[in-house]
Amino acid sequence: KAGVTQTPRYLIKTRGQQVTLSCSPISGHRSVSWYQQTPGQGLQFLFEYFSETQRNKGNFPGRFSGRQFSNSRSEMNVSTLELGDSALYLCASSLAPGAPTEAFFGQGTRLTVV
Amino acid sequence: DAKTTQPPSMDCAEGRAANLPCNHSTISGNEYVYWYRQIHSQGPQYIIHGLKNNETNEMASLIITEDRKSSTLILPHATLRDTAVYYCIVRVRNQGGKLIFGQGTELSVKP
């Protein structure tokens, strides 16, 4: 069974640009969550999608957005990139909210903003 | 904010048991204890979770105290590949995929 797939693995963008990251969950998983990891702030929850609807949102500015498609694949978008957005962005999939099931993480997308 | 407290770092000799403590004194009755680990620059890996009973799987054992205010993750025979940051997380079952990570414990397994 394939794991969580994130693309691209590495990305370099310029300040002010926007970026879209993609996440394909494990087959059968319908919940996708996104996290940002930086050396200073650690792992922080961005948002969660289930059935194409955002269920939970972390404390990030509106420049960070996401969506989920009918096949459960998810994308997150960051607009007007800032140097501080340089981070490892991780996606996790789980069966569905409401059950104490584990979340499985992808390998992440390393974003560098220059 | 994370509801758990873990030591920032620990060392363990290869082949020995690694016992990683976690305090969660404000845990609610409907909150589970989860453990994840993250090997350098990879995505976190699920290890184990429990509510109040001790749990064991092929990776580790989880011991939760009777009052549920603390727990210990046990890696019975640590190997060099177990070197990672270990995160203890508490969450309610209807919280979906939202995990609140603390700073974790950096475990170094030494030969």
The predicted-structure confidence for B1-49, as pLDDT tens digits, reads as follows 678 999 999 999 999 999 999 999 999 888 889 999 999 879 999 999 9
One-letter identity of residue B44 = P
**Cβ of B106 under 8 Å from any chain A Cβ?**
no
Contact residues, chain B, for A32 at CB < 8 Å = 97
The predicted-structure confidence for B78-108, as pLDDT tens digits, reads as follows 999 999 999 999 887 666 667 889 899 999 9
Report the phi/psi class of residue B91: left, alpha or beta, with left for phi > 0 and alpha for psi in -120 to 50.
Answer: beta
Is A42 within 8 Å of B95 when comparing Cβ atoms?
no
pLDDT above 70 (res A1): no
CA–CA distance, A111 with B9 (Å, rounded to integer)? 28
Using CB atoms and an 8 Å cut-off, which of residues 72-91 of chain B contact chain A?
87
Tokens of A104: 């499985």
The predicted-structure confidence for B42-75, as pLDDT tens digits, reads as follows 999 999 999 998 999 999 999 999 999 999 999 9
CA–CA distance, B95 with B109 (Å, rounded to integer)? 33
Facing B98 at nearest CB: one of A56, A105, A108: A56
pLDDT class for A103, splitting at 50, 70, 90? confident
pLDDT score, position B35:
95
A97 neighbors A55 (Cβ within 8 angstroms): yes
Average of per-residue pLDDT across A78-103: 87
CA–CA distance, A27 with B92 (Å, rounded to integer)? 24
Q: Give the residue among B54, B62, B64, B58 at the shortest CA–CA distance from B23.
A: B64
pLDDT score, position A91:
96
Angle formed at CA B100 by CA A34 and CA A64, multiple of 5 degrees: 35
**Cβ of A100 under 8 Å from any chain B Cβ?**
yes
**Cβ of B49 under 8 Å from any chain A Cβ?**
yes
Report the phi/psi class of residue A80: left, alpha or beta, with left for phi > 0 and alpha for psi in -120 to 50.
Answer: left
**Cβ of B99 under 8 Å from any chain A Cβ?**
yes
Average of per-residue pLDDT across A99-107: 81
Chain A interface disruption, residue of B4, B27, B36, B99, most A CBs within 10 A: B99
pLDDT score, position B14:
97
Q: Give the residue among B88, B90, B92 at the shortest CA–CA distance from B10.
A: B88
DSSP SS3 for A19: strand
**Cβ of B32 under 8 Å from any chain A Cβ?**
yes
**Cβ of B29 under 8 Å from any chain A Cβ?**
no
Contact residues, chain B, for A106 at CB < 8 Å = 43
Mean pLDDT value across chain A: 93
Q: Which residues, 6 or more positions from A51, have their beta carbon under 8 angstroms from its beta carbon? A: A30, A68
- DSSP tag of B5: B
pLDDT class for A100, splitting at 50, 70, 90? low
Is B99 within 8 Å of A45 when comparing Cβ atoms?
yes
pLDDT above 60 (res A107): yes
